[in-house]
Amino acid sequence: MTKPFSVVLASLLVLTSTLSPLASAQQSQPLDRIAAIVDEDVVLQSELDRAVRNVKSQYAGRENQLPPDDVLQRQVLERLVRVKLQVGRADGSGIRVSDEELNRAIASIAQQNGTTVDGLRQKLAADGMGYGDFRASVRDEIIVQHLRQSFAQSRISVSEGEVDTALAQQATTGSQYHLAHILVGLPEGATADQIATGQKKVDGVKALIDKGELDFSAAAVRYSDSPNALEGGDLGWRSLDEIPNAFAQLIRDMQPGQVAGPLRGPSGFQLLKLVEMRDANAGGEKKLVTEYNARHILVRINDSQTEAQAKAKIDTLRARITGGADFQATAKESSEDTNSRGQGGDLGWFPADAFGPDFGKQVEGLADGAVSEPFRTQAGWHIVQRVGSRQTDVSAESQRAQIRETIGRRKLEEEYNRYLQELRGEAYVSFRTGDRADGDASAAPAKPANPAAPAAPRRTAARRRHSRRADSMLPSLALVPGEPAGIGPELCVRLAQRPRSDAHLIAYADPDTLHSAAKALSLSVRLLDPDQRARAPGDLPLHPIRQAAPTRFGITDPANAAAVIAGLRGAAGDCLSGKLQGIVTGPVHKAAINAGGIPYTGTTELLADQAGCPVVMMLANAIVRVALVTTHLPLRAVADAITADAVTRCLRITDSAMRRDFGLERPRIAVLGLNPHAGEDGHLGREELDIIIPVLEQLRGDGMQLIGPLPADTAFLPQKLTGFDAVVAMYHDQGLPVLKYSGFEQAVNITLGLPYPRVAVDHGTALELAGRGIADPSSLMAATELCARLAARG
């Protein structure tokens, strides 16, 4: 579930809650100018002035804790630079914020400040800030949060062993520690001179604190390079499992008020202060949650059933039930939720938030046996009947989940800070004073004479050469649009409108088709030679694949089947030769290819055949990853294809890929049974007893962490998914409907086991949308971003 904006946008809540008269004197301002150039973006002087005023207003009554204005300006400017860099990276990765999401965030900010959106606009105007500038700031904050979430999903994992170790630690000491820190950052691969300068600076800061000339918080504001410097370096309350191992023993032996260090860490030199400590009382009490048992009926909205038709149908079904019809019998007959229809709509026991807040509110508000009024969710129109409720002790489960979250949060903080340092080190940043632009440190805000003052950022010719080298080290990815009559070509044209900072894309497509797609979208596209780099919006390097017939959007032509296959095989061949590092593929129309006289089962099978290696199809979104033992088979052939060798091969490839590609030390893989209720001990089929369970036992002996076999109808409950890193399903339609329902637009198709990463969109050719300019590029953007990350991992 999405976190409340009051948490996500904490810094903006501070900004709007401290709207102060400091800005009123700024109504008459000189013409705006540039404070800093950040790659292809800028920080305006008005942005910097406004941010400095906001920091000062937060310290009203505590002004003596702030550094001199020139130091404060440098600290704030550096923070704004980092925001610009993150927004730029997110933009290149295809992260977007819709107007609807932005409006919800602003409404939440207004509510937190006890006003309406109109009232917020008036406050902003009184402080001299335009509403458009405010919306842009909020959008940037949301984008940065989404970038952090994407980073966490791709790079952060917590093993069960780490959770067990943390629980053992907590059993011996249930203490929590309120910490603050000061970071004197060092660049990656720091030279001896840079290390000596950093050591001198941190020693100077420590001396000022020890002599009582500055308290720790003021020193952090003035000298720390950490993103939380302006909060006095406050790290909040931490348990030992949230503290890096190198520092945990040291902190355990410290007394409140004590400052330790300097300590050398991966990001530079640190000073640590133990502010206070407390007993966390871990595991002392039961944690009870209310669970509900309910049935529901769902009527979906789709191409064949409009909103009005779906609402009329659900109204009719409710009237039938309130008139005496049995809810379960009606659900079996009419519900469009295939997962629960066979059980009369029964959803089992679940906490209120398991199916989203709207559904939970309906269930909570009912008496046992009562039927709700029709209500709408993203899935469609529902009615729900509450069967019962109970209190369940989830203390042990909750404790493990909390430990896992805190360890993950600590890892994310460490890794993301290093990531920010890399971004900052590779970026072109030029500070400006007056009207003069200069990349040299002499153009930065003035520095205090204090020997402990931090050095200003520099941009030299060597840094520019490093940036060009970094550009040449980016992975090169093939972009294959798939069926030319579908939406693939226009999605590629849309993707080309935003030059990427994480990969070089080369389209394997017909140039006339791409030009036609651009014309249909009223966009420009400039096709380059395949060895050229995209530098401007619309640039797209091209490896031309000529079609036999012109493209007519929405109408397939079997004559072009050979070109589709040639694009796929050409891209795969260049990956196998090392010329490219990955492939992103659009949707392919299987019937059109077969009608062209080319036997074709699917792209996964084609690439596996060309590479000569076994592969596994995995589909994934932000919520779940699902790998398949069998792929495109008729249902009657699935049982025969579930062999010990097939299950073993799928699990080994999945486990290996999760370790190598996703960085999981010991991935937790849930395995579904083939039959209903996982076979019911052989009563509903013997594949679990004869094949799946023996394979799992054997692979567990090899160290794999496997859960199952699980019944497929309950394995995807939200509270269960948090315990898995991936799910292995026996056949195509067993695992994928839930995945597509939970996040179709962001779902991608990954081929595991190839010697290079291949990621595809998880949608069809959408012939009915082709050429109309309304196709959603989200899945292609997500596929490209993931492929770039996997290729960068090597």
On whether 466 is known to bind a ligand per the annotation, the reply is no
Q: Report residue 177 as tokens.
A: 């520690």
Give which of 200, 228, 232, 206 is closest to 218, Cα–Cα. Answer: 232
Residue 749 annotated in ligand binding = yes
* Helix/strand/coil (H/E/C) assignment for every residue in 197-252: HHHHHHHHHHHHHHCCCCCHHHHHHHHCCCCCHHHCCEEEEEEHHHCCHHHHHHHH
Question: Which pair of structure tokens corresponds to residue 228?
Answer: 């939380």
13-26 b/e (C-beta count within 10 Å ≥ 16 → b): bebbebbeebbeee
3-state helix, strand, coil in the chain (%, to 5): 45, 20, 35
Q: If DSSP codes are grouped into helix, strand and coil, which group holds residue 682? A: coil
CB 156 within 8 A of CB 241: no
- Using CA atoms, how far apart are residues 228 and 220, in angstroms rounded to an integer? 9
Name all contacts of 214-220 with Cβ < 8 Å and 24+ positions apart. 215/65, 216/180, 216/182, 216/259, 216/271, 216/273, 217/65, 217/180, 218/64, 218/65, 218/66, 218/67, 219/182, 220/180, 220/181, 220/182
Residues 492, 514, 470: CA angle, nearest 5 degrees? 50
Number of Cβ within 10 Å of residue 736's Cβ equals 18
Residues, the chain: 794
732 is in an annotated binding site: yes
Query: 632 among the known binding-site residues?
Result: yes
The structure tokens listed for 360 are: 């939970």
Report the alpha-carbon distance of residue 236 to residue 238 in Å, rounded: 6
Calpha distance 412→415 (Å, rounded)? 5
Q: What three-state secondary structure class fits 758? A: strand
Tokens 């820190």 -> residue = 181
758 is in an annotated binding site: yes
Instruction: Tell me the three-class secondary structure of 391-450, residue by residue.
Output: EEECHHHHHHHHHHHHHHHHHHHHHHHHHHHHHHHHCCEEEEECCEECCCHHHCCCCCCC
Residues annotated in the binding site, as ranges?
604, 632, 677, 732, 740, 749, 758
Binding residues for substrate: 604, 740, 749, 758
- Please give the annotated binding residues for a divalent metal cation, written as ranges: 632, 677, 732
